[in-house]
Structure 1
Amino acid sequence: MKHTPLYIGLILLLFSACKVEQEKVPLAQVGTKILYLEEVEEVLPGSLSPEDSTIWMDDFIQKWVQRELMVLNAEENLSASQKDVSRELEDYRNSLITYRYKKALMEQKMDTLITDQEIENYYESHKKEFILKNDIVKAVYLKTPIELSNPEILKELSMDNDPQKLLELDEYGIRYAKSYDRFGDKWIDANRILTQIPLEIDNLERFLRRNKFIESDDTEYYYFICIRDFRFKGEYAPVDFVKSSIKNILLNQRKIDFLKKIETDVYQEGLESSKFKLYTIKK
């Protein structure tokens, strides 16, 4: 079959276009190792401006060159035995796949439910470990414009545990207050809230024992704090204050026990299925 010059030219043109399209753009070279533009573009953060992209790429290229120079020097100056890392790679691989296997087993089979009773039992057995380092309170805080303040309503609603009354308090705070927080009815550091009001308290413990309500004002705002409960530095922490910490402790202990059981079970299964042998060394 004869090919016309035009036909051959079209084939060459297409071949050249494909070659240009596939040709990589080199940015740096160390020894025989080449860094290409495409490699850098793959890791280039997309949120950068053109100017920042240039700075980022220059820094990336410089670090790449420095790293590859160190590798090149190591290759040239270390002995063959010093460059043999096959043992280390095998150990790392074994550690990695073992970790992933144990992690998969924990996700599939380990019971992660920690009951309130377990938390309570641990708390009672380790109570001396949970001593407060700061004063803590359960409180309600509001900062309202003076003309919109209603202390009597606030006192009535904030001390009540009735869900409906607390809902009314939320509605009041959202509607009238400049700042309002019930802190999720959780314990908080006392200083976190007391620093929000223009009032100096000399003896916090004595003050809190004598006052359920803390009130203050300035030229614009009325400040109101209702202390619903309190504990002082040096006392035992309430169990609900340390509940999350205890849960983590129990979960970590459960993980340790679970991993130990995995190793024991794997050994026992290997023994029963003759997956390993132990040789006696003759002396």
Structure 2
Amino acid sequence: MKKNLIAFLSVILTAVSCVNYEHTNGEQPVARVHNTYLYPSDLTGILPQKYTRTDSIRIVEDYIRKWIKTQLMLKKAEINLTQTDLEEIRRQLEHTRASLTIYKYEQEMMRQKMDTTVTAEEIRQYYEDHSENFILDRNIVKATYIKIPDGAPNLERVRTWYRSENKEDQNSLESYCYQYASKYDHFDDDWIAFREILNLLPGEIRNEESFLRYNASIEMRDSSYHYFVAIRDYQLAGAEAPVEFVDERIRNIILNKRKVTFIRELENSVYKEGLTKNEFEILTP
């Protein structure tokens, strides 16, 4: 019995590899539950790109068995559910189909016609108009983070370079870090949560706010590495966020507002078109 099943599944696999996604005229079904049939073309796409013959037979066999169980359960449910239940399911399915269809149409219209460009000036203007909505919930910094293996040369020079604002010192530090550092992150131009940097250090700083107010650098070490952090700027939790820190968030807000407006205008346009063409009427008793 098992050998016959394997041989049958092997034939199915051959058929699956030869059919398109649509049912082929004259296709022989591979399974039946009452008056519902499963065809080889229904199995197209269930196999991974890389598979062995044994794996593919197992996958197809599992799929067929699950399909049979699903169809049997569906038939049993249709027999035992009340007509009211079935009508409610039909209404829900129709609502879901309509919602998905409309959503796909709206997405395609937005892709074709909606302006998705958000300028820096638009972001800044929105920020100025709504700055009270962008309050920091964490401490943020602009900083340089360096992790250097123990035993690396010229650590004293590193201690001078990483604190310095001098361009030449910064260039020397960069050249040194590319050669010796295990990690060199330059956040001088971008805001980052202070906690993200602290998580990269072996020690602990309990009072972030106090530390940032009175310190511009951090030096730590463990058994394997030296850690250096130069803090170029900071903003404390509770202050208004710098526009650069929330620009992507603002960009998404602006785009979402455009989407709402676009969809509302699309609905009104379709309604007016239907009204002009006499495509609908409201029937009253």
Q: Hey, what does 2:261 align to over in structure 1?
A: 257
* TM-score normalised by L of structure 1: 0.74
Question: Structure 1 pair 269/39, CA: closer, same or farther in 2 (3 Å)?
Answer: closer
Paired position in structure 2 for 1:202? 206
TM-score w.r.t. length of structure 2: 0.73
The answer on whether the counterparts of 1:142 and 1:181 sit within 8 Å (CA) in structure 2 is: yes
Offset at residue 247 of structure 1 (A):
0.8
Between structure 1 and structure 2, the one with the greater Rg is 1
Cα displacement (A) at 1:204: 1.9
Q: CA RMSD in A?
A: 3.5
- On the 8 A contact 2:163/2:217 being kept in 1, the answer is no
Query: Which of 106, 110, 116 is residue 112 of structure 1 equivalent to?
Result: 116
Is there any run of 5+ residues in structure 2 with no aligned partner, and where?
A: 1-17, 19-25
**Correspondence for 1:227 among 221, 231, 252:** 231
Give the drift of 1:47: 3.3
Match of 2:21 in 1: none
Matched, 1:147 2:133: no
Q: Deviation string for 1:232-279 (max 9, x for gaps)?
A: 2222222111111111111001110111112222333444x4334646
Tell which deviates more after alignment, 175-184 or 223-232. 175-184
1:238 maps to what in 2? Answer: 242
Distance 1:133 1:55, change over 3 A: farther
Describe the shift of the 1:79–1:115 C-alpha distance in structure 2 as closer, same or farther (beyond 3 A).
same
Superimposed CA distance per residue, residues 75-117 of structure 1 (whole angstroms, 9 cap, x where no aligned partner): 4445778767876666555444433332222122211111222
Q: 1:83 to 1:119 in 2, by over 3 A?
A: same
> Aligned partners of 2:208, 2:85: CA distance in 1, in Å?
66
Counterpart residue identity of residue 228, structure 1 = R
Show structure 1 runs of 5+ residues with no match. Answer: 1-20
Distance in 2 separating the partners of 1:48 and 1:135: 51
Structure 2 Cα separation of the partners of residues 161 and 56 of structure 1? 65
Change (3 A) 1:61 1:111: same
Matched residue count: 259
Shift of 1:161: 8.6
Alignment partner, residue 130 of structure 2:
126
Are the aligned partners of 1:155 and 1:226 in contact in 2 as well (CA < 8 Å)?
Answer: no
Q: Is the 8 A contact 2:217 2:230 kept in 1?
A: yes
Which residue identity is paired with 2:115? D
